[in-house]
Structure 1
Amino acid sequence: MDSPHWTALLSGWRDAPGTLPSRLALKLRTHIQAGRLSSDDPLPAERALSALLGVSRSVVVTTYDDLAAGGWITRRRGSGTRVAATAPRRQGVLTLRTPLNQTPTPDRELDFTHAVPYLTPAHRQELVAAARDAFQESLYHPLGLPDLRALLADTYRAEGLPTRPEQVFITTGAQQAISLTAGTLLQRGDAALMETPTYFGAIDVFRAAGASLVGVPVGPHGVRHEDFLTAARTHHPRLAFLTPTFQNPTGTVMPARTRQLIAAHAHDTALPVIEDDTLIDLDFGDGDGRHVVPPRLATYAPDAPIVNVGSLSKLYWAGLRVGWMRVPDLLHGPLMQAKTLTDFGGSLPAQHIALRLLQDLPRLRRERREHVTHARDLLAHLLRTHLPGWSFDLPDGGQFLWVRLPTEHASHFTHHAARHGLRLFPGASMGVQTLPDHYLRLPFTVDPARLPDAVARLQAAWASFQMREGGERLA
């Protein structure tokens, strides 16, 4: 059984009212109707599904019996349980790894699946002030507000990457930039290189484009250039996706020499690369003295087909939905057309607010680093105190702890933790190919005041999960 796949598919199944079998049956019927489960698709074996969900086998047996009686599934000895050919269905869609279909209740649940800054009263006041001139025009700007594009071009140049304003496109968050690039450059069946593990939103985008995903393993210093070049020469990819600085989810930083070699390969072979810069501002250097982070990958080959993607979502607030992309000349025409046809331009009020905020970028970076560093240190201290069997390396930047659990069933644990009011994301779901099911990605963007409660719940969930793994059956 593909545990990460079924973990994503059945996430939140307990949220509906009714008995456990009726809740599980409702979730499966919903996915069959939506096309996420198609005719003749196999369902997990009873024992495997009960272990994943932390319920007794009788819950799964009753669920399957009810679905079979309703004509949703078929059960045959030797061929297992499958979606019935006569079951209602729509056109097939992906089972997204991106955890956006959940509606947590803040008072009762703690959500570790998302990693975005929360708004403080000071942020709200600042946003109101920044919106003072946000409603002054009614024009279309398909590639973004000119003043904002010029400001971002200045920022890239100041950090060593030659950039003209016309090379900067404003997008609806970094996700749109990734989606536009993949949708423009990839055709069904094309090979695409990705780090493994990597950002689940990029995995979903590349899968939706029909690409054949090739994973390059992430080590202590990101991907090794030898592994990247070998994969590129073997699979002849049409696009690659990399996060050289504070990689999501591991927090690793790619060395300068590796960046230089990969950039040279992109330049010499015209291999398009998406360089995800969304976490580049979150360096945990002390005061004004930052860690020595190498220049962007694109800096080593400014004319190579490397698309740099940035966003305000991790630096300030995801609700603005303002991102951007630096587009090299080689890709300017097709990406400009794709961006124009997509939306004729993003929200102008949001861009005016972003312009005001980014005019004070050094302060934004400083304040965000201070906040995130405090949260990182607090979460690390609590985990080491209360869950000493869990292991992780303290990252120098970013917003995640990549935590290894002493179990081969971390996906199972995420379902168990939901019963303790915790929403968790299994690390195996961030693998491009099969990834060992040992990891959780824990963001330290939760309100620090709630972290002690969150770790107390983790500790309680882990204690009862260990009892279950020891043989206790849970109804």
Structure 2
Amino acid sequence: MDALRWSALLSGWRAGDGPLYDLLAEAVRAVIRSGQLLPAEPLPAERALAGLLGISRSTVVAAYDALEGGGWITRKRGSGTRVAAGAPRGANLLALRTPSVLAQGGEEFDFTIAVPLLHDTQRQEMREAALDAFEESLYYPLGLPDLRALLAEIYTQGGLPTTPEMVLITSGAQGAISLLANVFLRPRDRMLLETPTYFGAIDAFRAAGAETVGVPVTAQGVEAVAFAGAVKQHSPRLAFLTPTFQNPTGTVMPIRAREKIAAAVADANLPTIEDDTLIDLGFETAAPPRISTFAPDAPIFNVGSLSKLYWAGLRVGWVRVPAAHAGPVGQARTLSDFGSSLPGQHIALNLLQDLPRLRQQRREAVTPARDLLAELLRLHLPEWRFTVPGGGQFLWVKLPTRQTSAFTLCAARYGVRLFPGASMGVDTLPDSFLRLPFTLDPARLPEAVLRLKAAWDEFQSRQGRERLA
């Protein structure tokens, strides 16, 4: 059984009223209707599914009986349980790694996403920053000219010479990543990524039809030798790296490794996305120079955003495009729409004129939350292991189990949403990790960790014994 996939497919199966077997049967019907399960595709064995969901085997048997009686599945000794050929279904869908929404009652603690908290001063600041947005009625498919010029200046001051024509504005960093995937990838092309890595990037590249190849992330990020070897072995069409405060591990690639990777990209003429969305979130020291600064003419595309630095709802991102690629990438951007929202771009323009202040404010907001979460985990869950990062938004936590996906379903019953770290792997990762963002309100963190402890205690207590429905 693919525990990671099934924990995602059935993440909210307990929502609703009625017997557990009925809720489970309806959840499987919904997955088949949506097209995420294909005809003749196997379902998990009864005992394995019961273990994942924390219920009795008899509950799974009753659910399968109901599905078989309705013509949704077939069961045959020797070939197991499978989706029936005639089961109603929609168009095929990708099994995305993006966290799904759980229907929960009462207060919920969401550790699946990391977004900055927004306070009243920032709300007023954005209202004032948007005043100039309503003075014209024009399309800017490539982005507001003044914003492109300001970002070009920021890149240049950071050691990467850039002209305004090399900057395109997108709908968040995800928009930039998807844009580049559509430009460079075709079905069955090979795509080189870190593993683990940002799940939204994995989704985007899979949607483009790419075959993803992983390069392991070590304590110092991706190693240059491993990256160069993978480029030589797999001849990828595109690569994706987050060298600074890597998502999810928080690692920072050393300068020497950046130099070597820049040389490998230049030698192979390999289009490479350098994800800079967390580069401004350093707590102790300034971030090292970007990989692209060591090969400014190489096909390295720097992606940035205000979502992590200021507010996720702003949805203003950008990509610095090497001059040789500005034409085709700009055309693809124009074809996708006629430009991002002008109010959002005007807000970004005004905010980015004081970038050092934004960095300092974010540092002052996040550092106490990071330290508090680490303290609470050490106190209540001392067997969980992690390294406190020098920047970014996440703790990469190793649990003493190989069934973390099953634990996330247990935690959901306590009102805590979690994302199993193994779902951020390009290749198979041990199912032992959680990505825990430290962006929740610090006042809520003590209760959130207490719920995690309660869920963990229950999860440990039921390992190896019969689950009761």
Give TM-score, length-normalised by structure 1.
0.97
Residue in 2 that maps onto 1:45 = 45
- In structure 2, how many angstroms separate the alpha carbons of the residues matched to 1:194 and 1:65? 42
Q: Deviations over 1:8-36 (max 9, x none)?
A: 21112222333222222222211211111
Which residues in structure 2 correspond to 1:246-285 (within 5 Å)?
246-285=245-284
**Contact residue 13 and residue 23 of structure 2 kept, 8 A:** yes
Matches within 5 A, 1:284-433: 284-285=283-284, 291-433=285-427
Size of the aligned set, in residue pairs, is: 469
Indicate the larger mover: 20-29 or 320-329.
20-29
Secondary structure, counterpart of 1:108 in structure 2: coil
Distance 1:104 1:347 in 2: 33
Aligned 8 A contact 1:11 1:415 in 2 = yes
| Residues 69 and 54 of structure 1, relative CA distance in 2, 3 Å threshold | same
TM-superposition CA deviations, 1:127-161 (whole Å, max 9, x none):
22222222221111001000111111111111111
Matched with 1:158 is 157
Q: Distance in 1 between matches of 2:128 and 2:449?
A: 37
Does structure 1 retain, via aligned residues, the 8 Å contact 2:397–2:435?
yes
> Does structure 2 retain, via aligned residues, the 8 Å contact 1:468–1:474?
no
What is the distance in 2 between the residues matched to 1:16 and 1:359? 49
1:472 Cα deviation from its structure 2 partner: 4.9
Asked whether the 8 Å contact 1:207–1:213 carries over to 2, the reply is yes
SS of the equivalent of 1:85 reads: coil
TM-score (ref. length: structure 2): 0.98
CA distance 1:165–1:379, change in 2 (3 Å): same
1:144 is aligned to 143
Q: Which shows bigger deviation, 275-284 or 49-58?
A: 49-58
Q: CA deviation at 1:330?
A: 2.7
Q: Secondary structure of 1:367's match?
A: helix
Deviations 1:101-123 (A, max 9, x none): 44566x52110001111221222
Report matched runs for 1:106-117 at 5 Å: 107-117=106-116
Residues 148-187 of structure 1, C-alpha deviation per residue, up to 9 Å, x if partnerless?
1111111111111111001100000000100010111011
Q: Hey, what does 2:63 align to over in structure 1?
A: 63
Equivalent residue letter for 1:426: P
Alpha-carbon distance in structure 2 between the residues aligned to 1:41 and 1:137: 55
Pick which of 410-419 and 92-101 moved more: 92-101
Alpha-carbon distance, 1:100 to partner? 4.6
Q: Distance in 1 between matches of 2:396 and 2:441?
A: 19
Separation in structure 2 between the aligned mates of residue 51 and residue 100 of structure 1, nearest angstrom: 21
- Separation of aligned partners in 1, 2:415 and 2:348: 35
- In the alignment, the residues of structure 2 paired with residue 174 and residue 33 of structure 1 have an alpha-carbon distance, to the nearest angstrom, of 32
Instruction: Tell me if structure 2 keeps the 8 A contact 1:135–1:349.
Output: yes
Structure 1, 398-407 or 68-77: larger mean CA deviation: 68-77
Query: Which of 416, 439, 454 is the matching residue for 1:460?
Result: 454
SS of corresponding position for 2:462? helix
* TM-align CA RMSD: 1.2
Amino acid aligned to 2:178: S
Decide whether aligned partners of structure 1 residues 292 and 135 sit closer, same or farther in structure 2, where only a CA change above 3 A counts. Answer: closer
Deviation track 1:385-418 (CA, whole Å, cap 9, x = no partner) reads 1100000011010000000001110111000001
CA contact (8 A) 2:250 2:392 kept: yes
Equivalent residue, structure 2, for 1:34: 34
Letter in 2 for 1:17: D
**Matched residue, 2:429:** 435
| Residue 331 (structure 1) shift | 2.0
Instruction: Give matches, 1:193-232, under 5 Å.
Output: 193-232=192-231
Structure 2 gaps of 5+ residues are none
Cα distance in 2 between the residues matched to 1:470 and 1:251: 34
Q: In the TM superposition, what is the alpha-carbon distance from 1:292 to its structure 2 partner?
A: 4.7
**Percent of paired sites with the same residue:** 66
